[in-house]
Amino acid sequence: MGWILFFDGNCASCSAGVRRAMRFDHNQRLKFAPLQGKLAAENGFTHYADPKGGSMVIMREEDRKVFYRSDAAIELARALGGWWNLLVPVSLIPRCLRDAAYKWVASHRYWISKKANFCTLPDPEMEKRILE
């Protein structure tokens, strides 16, 4: 089974998160696509890149089920497997609370990325897993 993680391609901290996910995705189950790209547009996800509170989106390829916000983060942990599965019980916290925390981080992601040096180019292996 595979997943496609759609992320804000204009956000340095989001891109850093993608690089981190690639490093921990030992089974290479994940593919990545920017929310500003063609694949995101074809699936109607482009509005999730909104700087005022955007969201990561994950689509499970097997059944094309889509996960947003905190559900996407939990599904990402499930996709990474291994020790990351320890985060899956976070789903027991009510979605309204999880999503409130997620939205706060998402709405501040550009400010957060200004405070750190996230700008590094992906290596060739990583570039192979980024879809248009």
CB atoms within 10 A of CB 60: 16
Query: How confident is the model at residue 128, as a pLDDT?
Result: 72
- What confidence tier does 126 reach under pLDDT thresholds 50, 70, 90? low
pLDDT of 70 strictly over 80: yes
Spatial contact of 61 and 3, defined as CB atoms under 8 Å apart = yes
Tokens standing for 90? 């976070």
Domain boundaries, the chain: 3-127
Question: Which residue, chain included where needed, has tokens 């690639």?
Answer: 22
User: How do 30-34 and 3-7 pair as beta strands?
Assistant: parallel
| 11-30 average pLDDT score | 88
Q: Three-state DSSP class for 91?
A: helix
pTM above 0.75, yes or no: yes
Of 28, 52, 4, 1, the C-alpha closest to 126 is 28
